[in-house]
Amino acid sequence: MELLGIPANTIAVLKKYDFKIQKKFGQNFLIDPHVLEKIVEAAELTPEDCVVEIGPGLGAMTQYLAKRAGRVAAVEIDRALIPILQETLADCENVEIINEDILKVDLARLAEEKNGGRPIKVVANLPYYITTPIVMSLLEKRVPLYSMTIMVQKEVAERMQAGPGGKEYGALSLAVQYFADARIVANVPPNCFIPRPGVGSAVVCLKRYEKPPVSVPDEDLLFSVIRASFNQRRKMLVNSLYNAAGLSFSKETVREALLALGVPETVRGEALTLEQFARLTELLAAAADDKRS
């Protein structure tokens, strides 16, 4: 089995199949064995694990995953890559290639079929244009998931683990940190890919919490409040929540909630922690209940 982490082997496969890189699928193939090893090590794979790989591309990382995990389901959207994967992964008997859009795959059912319903591990070099929808779909849909070890745009990785006050901190930071512990494990320069992306990348490991670190009466309301708080991040929180579509709190209600929270009414969303957002949601929900009763 020719390892595709070696650049010459990847180039040979691309030439053999006269494969045209598809920008619409965000295809940047990883060609650095050291990075591939780092990803697999960060995923902490064992022979007991079932791994779902999103976007295997030519199969470079899949080859490494097959050596460490018990089972690998490689989900690839590009039909043109399927015959290539069938060749490059011919020696990997524990790999199943699935030609599907990951956002349309029932991963809970897949986990049930391939892993007896036990939590799966996701490992992926994610297309940058669709990183956030994929990550949030996996987290919000309550897929039985142990961890995600994913290559993403460096800026997005920094946003996932950012804390309050910085420019990277936002709705994605809070949403990810509600569901998982986020940790950047490697930075990856553009020259580790064919073709080279225009930005740097990073490997981030998201370990799913058994239960969220904060408790809220209404999870949907929490995320509505968070999104509204960052839609126009330079606005004061009072105005962001008052003007938000889908929310119906008066300015006075928001002011009173912020006062009870112990923060000034001039505060912006970027200053609040996840714990403070949870408490704010609780206060707003209680005010709405009082108004109805």
Q: List, for residues 15-74, the tens digit of each pLDDT value.
A: 999 998 888 888 899 999 999 999 999 999 999 999 999 999 999 999 999 999 999 999
- Which structural domain range is residue 96 located in? 7-208
Query: Is 101 buried (19+), middle (13-18) or exposed (0-12) by CB count in 10 A?
Result: exposed
Cβ-based neighbours of 45, under 8 Å, separated by 6 or more: 51, 65, 68, 69, 121, 123
pLDDT for the residue 289: 67
Tell me the per-residue pLDDT of 183-223, one tens digit each, with 9 for 90 and over: 999 999 999 999 999 999 999 999 999 999 999 989 999 99
Q: Give the residue from 189, 208, 227 where a domain finishes.
A: 208
pLDDT for the residue 1: 61
In a domain, 213, yes or no: no
Distance (Å, rounded) from C-alpha 201 to C-alpha 154?
4
Note whether 113 and 234 are same-domain residues. no
In a domain, 191, yes or no: yes
| CB burial string 162-189: b at 16+ within 10 A, e below | beeeeebbbbbbbbbbbbbebebebebe
Total domain count, the chain = 2
Note whether 121 and 190 are same-domain residues. yes
Residue 156 confidence (pLDDT) above 80? yes
Using 50, 70 and 90 to split pLDDT, how confident is the model at 232? Answer: confident
Q: Give the residue from 208, 230, 252 where a domain finishes.
A: 208
Percentage of residues in the chain having pLDDT higher than 70: 98
* CATH, residue 254: 1.10.8.100
Give me the chain's average pLDDT, please: 93
pLDDT for the residue 176: 96
Q: Give the residue from 208, 229, 246 where a domain finishes.
A: 208
Using 50, 70 and 90 to split pLDDT, how confident is the model at 290? Answer: low
Note whether 202 and 239 are same-domain residues. no
In a domain, 214, yes or no: no
* CATH, residue 31: 3.40.50.150
Average pLDDT over residues 278-289: 89
Question: Which single residue is written with the structure tokens 């090590």?
Answer: 41
Gyration radius (Cα) of the chain, Å: 22
